[in-house]
Amino acid sequence: MASVVVVGTQWGDEGKGKIVDLLTRYADYVVRFQGGNNAGHTLVVDGKKYIFHIIPSGILYEDKTCVIGNGVIIDPGVLLKEIAGLAEKGFAVAPKKLLISSNAHLIMPYHQCLDQARENALAKEKKIGTTGRGIGPCYMDKVGRVGMKVGDLLDPTLFKDKLQAAVEEKNFVLTRQFGAAPADFAAIVDQFERFAEQLAPFIGNVSVVLDQARKEGKNILFEGAQGTHLDIDHGTYPFVTSSNTIAGNACIGSGFGPSHIDEVIGILKAYTTRVGEGPFPTELPEGDAIGDALQQKGHEYGATTGRRRRCGWFDAVVANDAVRLNGLTGFAVTKLDVLSGLSKLKLATSYQVEGETFLHMPDNIRKARLAQPVYEEMDGWAGELSDVRAYEDLPAQAQAYLKRLEDLTGVAPAIISVGPDREETLLLRNPFAG
């Protein structure tokens, strides 16, 4: 029995979905523990693409139980649309396959209105780059102790009482501060009564179920969303998400005891990308030949928003921060194949900021924006990697690149991805094997 956490080590979009899908083969339970539908996981199975925003990636397996923990915030309409979409593709989602925590919070229509209104009110240089899906306002209500919980759907009286107070407060802000249209209490009640009827069979106590599974010797896989440097506490604040994305939140966001975690695998893209605003020291600007090549070959568009991802060289400073913050026991290196064909590769080993050397991301956002990467250079390789199925069959330069990533971070690769398909993966060490 093992409990394994998978997290992103950069700014998200590292390829977590594929790695979670791979490791799900060895798991009995797959648990999503934070974030909302501002995140997206893309899987390619037998040439078919599947994109998930809330449902854990393990849903494509028949004999697994997928769990949405209390740390996740849920837009019921989006969740039900995902369930319906899977059914259309032959993957029926029955309550025995999906459990939703009664303590997870609900994204309400007024959260989305507030999210968009606040972003639109900011000056261009101060915009966060939010997806506008209500994530921040929902987490604000959760911390402010006025949030709507999934379990509230099962108690119509409680739901209406809480909603009435919330709508009165939110409408004051929407209309007075932002000049936006007010939320309609009756329409929300009607909409969420339908949601409640559909979701009721899936709702339960996640913490109790996972603890029982652990006692029964089941393998549990915890699936993070976004990446380490989007963490609300440890990321490039304020250009972050509104939840804790690091491994420690796997326990908080599911009600699972921290002493029961056995492995933490960090998903590490072989280069670096970022969507939205915020510091990105190794960025290759749009129009740079290599940056554009990475973007095109790596299909670097956000799974949720479709926005073009900013691309840049590998950043060991970012990677080492992730090692420290997550307590990583292994890496899953993704998109190594995208680097094929580049004659030279660069890796940032430190930053220079106003004459000072940094081996970690500066806490000061002004200094983070000014960070200039210090690079070292390595030889690239010419051959494509998608047919490689053993480490020793990788080109010597690719092996040397991987070894350098290990030397710079002190963490060895456990998994290497050489293409987008499920089978285009090298499993060097199975974290569930002990």
List active site positions. Answer: 13, 41
Up-side HSE of residue 151: CA atoms within 13 Å toward CB?
Answer: 9
User: Is 20 in contact with 223 (CB distance < 8 Å)?
Assistant: yes
DSSP state of 45: E
Residue 252's alpha-carbon distances to 57, 71, 107, 249, 358, in angstroms, are 20, 7, 19, 5, 31
Rounded-to-integer distance, Cα 108 and Cα 106, Å: 6
Rounded-to-integer distance, Cα 253 and Cα 34, Å: 6
3-state DSSP assignment of residue 347: strand
Rounded-to-integer distance, Cα 208 and Cα 178, Å: 43
Give the position of tokens 């950069």: 10
SS (H, E, C) 237-270: CCCCCCCCCCCCHHHHCCCCCHHHCCEEEEEEEC
Rounded-to-integer distance, Cα 129 and Cα 383, Å: 37
Contacts made by residues 111-117, CB under 8 angstroms, sequence distance 24+? 111/135, 111/137, 111/138, 111/141, 112/137, 113/170, 113/174, 113/180, 113/181, 113/183, 114/170, 114/173, 114/174, 114/178, 117/174, 117/177, 117/178, 117/180
For the packed helices 109-121 and 156-172, what is the interaxial angle rounded to 10 degrees? 20
Rounded-to-integer distance, Cα 215 and Cα 208, Å: 11
Rounded-to-integer distance, Cα 224 and Cα 266, Å: 10
Q: What is the number of other CB atoms lying within 10 angstroms of the CB of residue 319? A: 25
